Structure 1
Amino acid sequence: MERLAFKMKLNKGQIDAYKKRHDELWPDLKKLLKDNGVSEYSIFFDEETSILFAFQKVLGSGGSQDLANNEIVKKWWNFMADIMEVNPDNSPISIPLKEVFYLP
């Protein structure tokens, strides 16, 4: 099992919309993530910077960010594009983070 972390940036004032959309995560997207080895996925929010910190445990070497060619994922990105910083294809601008400490 691998642990992955990355950060994204939410547009100012959009935390309620972001939380609501994730509280109502589409069942087919949840299934897709689970079927692709994502066993834990947490997202934290820093109010001072509007940075989202994401952490996930995955089987294998890829996580949610490696599902870019899936139609469900593309649909989700389009749904989220109005409230966060995105690339031209509407994928979230996501910056991988290097682990510097782990206490099992």
Structure 2
Amino acid sequence: MEKIAFKMKLKPGFKAEYIKRHYFIWPELKAILKKHRVKDYTIFLDEETDTLFAVQLKQGESDSQQIGSEEVVQKWWAYMADIMETNEDNSPISKPLINVFHLD
């Protein structure tokens, strides 16, 4: 298992909407994540900066950052584009974070 972390940016004022949309995450999107061996996926929000901090536990080579060719993922990106900072293809602007400490 490998743990990866990355950050994204929520547009100001959309905390409640972001939480609501993830509460009702599409079952087919969950299935794609599981298919690509994402075993655990947690997102935190820094309310002072609207920065989203995501952590994934995954098996194998793929993760949620590498499944953009999947149709349901592209639809999810388009659905979320109005409340997040995105690239031209609607994918969230995502910055990988390096692991500097882990307490086992």
Once the two structures are TM-superposed, the CA of residue 60 in structure 1 deviates from its matched residue by: 1.1
What percentage of aligned pairs have identical amino acids? 55
Q: Distance in 2 between matches of 1:36 and 1:61?
A: 8
Normalising by the residue count of structure 2, what TM-score does the alignment of the two structures yield?
Answer: 0.98
RMSD over aligned CA atoms reads 0.6
Alignment coverage as a number of residue pairs: 104
Matched residue type, 1:91:
S
Matched residue type, 2:51:
I
Within 5 A, what are the aligned runs for 1:58-73? 58-73=58-73
Once the two structures are TM-superposed, the CA of residue 75 in structure 1 deviates from its matched residue by: 0.2
Once the two structures are TM-superposed, the CA of residue 13 in structure 1 deviates from its matched residue by: 0.3
Once the two structures are TM-superposed, the CA of residue 62 in structure 1 deviates from its matched residue by: 2.3
Normalising by the residue count of structure 1, what TM-score does the alignment of the two structures yield?
Answer: 0.98
Matched residue type, 2:75:
K
Match of 2:33 in 1: 33
Within 5 A, what are the aligned runs for 1:66-85? 66-85=66-85
Structure 1 gaps, min length 5: none
